Structure 1
Amino acid sequence: MWIPTTTAEKRHGMNGVPPERRHGFDFWVAYGTYDNHLNPMYWETAAPRDSFFYAHKWGPEYEVDRAIEFLSEQKKSSSPFALVVSMNPPHTGYDLVPDKYKEIYKHLNVESLCKNRPDIPAKGTEMGDYFRNNIRDYYACMTGVDENVGRLIEELKRLKLFDNTIVVFTSDHGICMGAHHSAGKDIYYEESMKVPMIISWPQQIKPRVDNHTMIAFGDMYPTLLSMMGFSKDIPQEVQTFDFANSILSGKADKKTVQPYYRVQPDNPTTGYRGLRTSRYTFAVHATNGKIDRTVLFDRDKDPYEMKNIATERPKLVRALHKQLREWLMQTNDPFAAYLPKKQ
């Protein structure tokens, strides 16, 4: 069966993606993450490296315009379709967002946000000022993304496709935005790790269900296949998990652990590996193959992750250490060799 597919997505540092790296999409509008959000460049399907064009429009708005064009074509057919829209904002150049969204937050009392956030550094510090200088624009970006996702939903409804379409809203990562003295995304704190996962399918899923199952982005591959009735077609080598039953039933899955990875591409012997349970965040860091840092946070008692309790809870650290090592061995991660069998 041929399923029309399209994508409008960001690809880090790629100048025209060759066909073999387009994940089987029939139609492709790719943004190479150059972060010029108000006038981004795109490559279309078979375009060579030098054949890009400028949208002359804020990225999310342009991408949803193209997605709506695609949906209108699908309405003419009874065949199923797949559509992926990956918006770049909120991403640095936070200020590159239409003024209509900035206006919403120009009077936001930023200090009131910081008042009860011990993880936000003080005013006058590098990361404290980074948060204060960027958070209004960051919120503006999110509001713009929300509005454009809404446009897509409304088009599905107008075309009478919404009720039998699986819609997934998620993100590839969060961002610390100055919290914990970090501007970035590749660290174990909640600001970085915890992202939205909203799934709509009116014909099959009861609306407004808060499901506390922890799902990683990689789990969506087997989960979506299973939701669509293709569970028997999930390849045996897939190492992520099928949560279709949990999503369709609205009942939390008993699996309560997800892995955390921070890989340093130019030095695979250095980086973080860890686990996130329903209560704890656990991570170990290695430098050149030697473990030199262990962190453990109790998010129930310490929601802002201000106190590393690894030395206070050795028994729990040993249990999580063992579980992490087993996970790394199961996934053939060479990092497992840096973790001793017994701690």
Structure 2
Amino acid sequence: MAKDISRRNFIRNTAAITAGMTLIPQGLLSSCTRKGKKPNLLFIFPDQYRKQAMGFMNQDPVITPNIDKLAQEGVVFSHAVSNHPLCSPYRGMLLTGKYPLSNGVLSNCNSARTAFGNFLKPDDVCFSDVLSNNGYDAAYVGKWHLDGPTPTQKGEPKIWDSYCKPGKHRHGFNFWYSYGADDNHLTPHYWINDAGEDQAKYFKQWSPEHEAEVVEKYLENVGDKFRNDDKPFAMFWAINPPHHPFNLVPEKYKERFEGKTEKDVLNRPNVQFTDNREMGDKGFGDMFVEKRIDQSIDYFSMCEGVDLQIGKVLETLKEQGLDENTIVIFTSDHGEMLGSHGMMHKNVWYSEAYDIPFIIRWPEKIKAGTDDLLLSVPDVMPTLLSLMGMKEDIPTEVEGKDYSGIFKNEEVDRPEAALYFFAKPEDETEKRRGVKTHNHTYVIAYDNKGEKNHFLYDDVKDPYQMNNIYGENTELEQDLTEKLREILIRTNDPFISLL
């Protein structure tokens, strides 16, 4: 009961983060930091962690005090999206600052797609390359999922996990504690620094717990040195949970939900407890509701467990005297449908999958607040590089926009729409494009038979996107189509011929 009261009080005290607070004031970046020591970066992005699963949102039944505190102390971007809500495409956009058609990572990396060039190219100039070239100690811990495993033919078992070769394939990361794509959360393995392909190390520990210990040691940097103390650091921590399989979570994190069922915890009115066959038969989304919806408690347990590990790392950051000059980001590669619209997982345009958390904290440099910028994934790289004093080093081929002016008392040309994208390199039948504005979600989707479908939702009047209103307002549809056209032209997307 005491925990529940504490949580309610916290929600009441921080409700302004998502509702009543005005946009963040201009001029939040302290002038002294522009000329002073370079800031560190701690970029935390658990896989498949949906926006609704942050306690201060007061939506999913989770308690996440560490994420909530981060939100209270930082800026919450309330309209951040994952333009292609899938693991590898997100990572490709994050690191290159380019959309999938430009960086070639059109879908998840596996051996069946390697022959199509569906992997991060070693010659691309990435976020981490720029950081490394500017004197940063760059570190990567956790899931990578950007390399192309040895190709396999159709009908052969797909290979998902892949060894990332040292050198150009690691794009400037000099501390490496990572794997390709493997979902054995309770027995994870990692290739550590210069370990060979046959030298992966296995651990019997929940992967977020193990990785938190590694990140803490990196921050403490005692004994066997993890990093150069004379350099600023940039740590990217890619936690795999709460990615499925959801049941691979220690029992201790599930105790709070004892005796509850999925019908007790899934409180969104758009949840269906049976497969959405209408959408599934068209190839839209992953249709495993009846197989996995009973693991929803495991998903929320994972979210709370991840929050606990983040809290440990942030406490270590503070203990080491590093928190004041460290930019901390909490975000995710995409969300999780978790039964909404009768779907599981990601890959679709609905808010549970497409909207993502995005919190940025830089103590004494950025004032806390909220901002409704339609932040796309390719925007993250140029915005952070500019914020960190490396505006001149943003690669010219970057397609994302630099929005750091939000923090610098500068005029910012805010986007009116963000792109939704879906494609498969091996199959041109299924393809989708769309836009999200502050008020609407609009998608043109070609299904697995090549037939054209339209979806339009009023996200203000219908926040759970339960009513497809396409066909009711021609003027609105034309306006949204034009907004989509503008983005397609800017990104050289041939989908423009299919509008």
Letter in structure 2 aligned against 1:197? F
Give unpaired runs (5+ residues) of structure 1.
Answer: none
Letter in structure 1 aligned against 2:139? T
CA-CA distance at 1:112 after TM superposition = 4.3
Report whether the alignment pairs 1:174 with 2:335. yes
Please, which moves more after superposition, 287-296 or 146-155? 287-296
Scaled by the length of structure 2, the TM-score of the pair is 0.63
- Match of residue 199 from structure 1: 360
Distance 1:289 1:239 in 2: 32
Report whether the alignment pairs 1:15 with 2:189. no
User: Alignment partner for residue 94 of structure 1, among 237, 246, 268?
Assistant: 246
- Match of residue 117 from structure 1: 268
Distance 1:293 1:199 in 2: 37
3-state SS of the aligned residue for 2:268? coil
CA distance 1:263–1:76, shift in 2 (3 Å): closer
User: Alignment partner for residue 67 of structure 1, among 208, 211, 215?
Assistant: 215
Q: Is the 8 A contact 1:213 1:256 kept in 2?
A: no
The alignment-based identity, stated in percent, is 36
Computed over aligned residues only, the root mean square deviation of the Cα atoms, in angstroms, reads 2.5
CA-CA distance at 1:227 after TM superposition = 0.6
Distance 1:249 1:92 in 2: 42
Q: Is the 8 A contact 2:144 2:238 kept in 1?
A: no
Letter in structure 1 aligned against 2:305? G
CA-CA distance at 1:75 after TM superposition = 8.6
Letter in structure 2 aligned against 1:87? I
Q: State how many pairs are aligned.
A: 337
3-state SS of the aligned residue for 1:21? helix
- Match of residue 35 from structure 1: 183
Letter in structure 1 aligned against 2:203? A
3-state SS of the aligned residue for 2:254? helix
User: Alignment partner for residue 483 of structure 2, among 295, 313, 323?
Assistant: 323
Report whether the alignment pairs 1:47 with 2:195. yes
CA-CA distance at 1:153 after TM superposition = 0.6
Report whether the alignment pairs 1:82 with 2:231. no
Q: Is the 8 A contact 1:211 1:247 kept in 2?
A: no
Q: Is the 8 A contact 1:90 1:142 kept in 2?
A: yes
Letter in structure 1 aligned against 2:173? F
CA-CA distance at 1:106 after TM superposition = 1.9
User: Alignment partner for residue 322 of structure 2, among 147, 153, 161?
Assistant: 161
Letter in structure 2 aligned against 1:92? H
User: Alignment partner for residue 380 of structure 2, among 184, 195, 220?
Assistant: 220
CA distance 1:40–1:118, shift in 2 (3 Å): same
Q: Is the 8 A contact 1:284 1:295 kept in 2?
A: yes
Letter in structure 1 aligned against 2:454? T
CA-CA distance at 1:288 after TM superposition = 8.4
CA distance 1:120–1:131, shift in 2 (3 Å): farther
Letter in structure 2 aligned against 1:305? Q
Letter in structure 2 aligned against 1:84? F
Q: What is the CA deviation profile of residues 51-105 of structure 1, one whole-angstrom value per residue up to 9, with x for unaligned ones?
A: 2110221101111111111112279724211101000000111111111111122
Please, which moves more after superposition, 21-30 or 163-172? 21-30
Distance 1:165 1:318 in 2: 44
Q: Is the 8 A contact 1:75 1:159 kept in 2?
A: no
Distance 2:228 2:197 in 1: 33
Letter in structure 1 aligned against 2:232? P
Distance 2:431 2:438 in 1: 23
CA-CA distance at 1:253 after TM superposition = 6.7
User: Alignment partner for residue 172 of structure 2, among 24, 39, 56?
Assistant: 24
CA distance 1:124–1:188, shift in 2 (3 Å): closer
Distance 1:253 1:129 in 2: 45
Distance 1:157 1:253 in 2: 35
3-state SS of the aligned residue for 2:442? strand
Q: What is the CA deviation profile of residues 230-274 of structure 1, one whole-angstrom value per residue up to 9, with x for unaligned ones?
A: 122222221111121225669997323111111112124531111
Report whether the alignment pairs 1:137 with 2:298. yes
Letter in structure 2 aligned against 1:79? K
Q: Is the 8 A contact 2:262 2:295 kept in 1?
A: no
CA-CA distance at 1:293 after TM superposition = 0.8
Q: Is the 8 A contact 2:275 2:342 kept in 1?
A: no
Letter in structure 2 aligned against 1:292? K
CA-CA distance at 1:316 after TM superposition = 1.1
CA-CA distance at 1:40 after TM superposition = 0.6
Give unpaired runs (5+ residues) of structure 2.
Answer: 1-133, 146-159, 277-286
Please, which moves more after superposition, 284-293 or 222-231? 284-293
CA-CA distance at 1:203 after TM superposition = 2.4
Distance 1:251 1:90 in 2: 38
CA distance 1:291–1:284, shift in 2 (3 Å): farther
3-state SS of the aligned residue for 1:162? coil
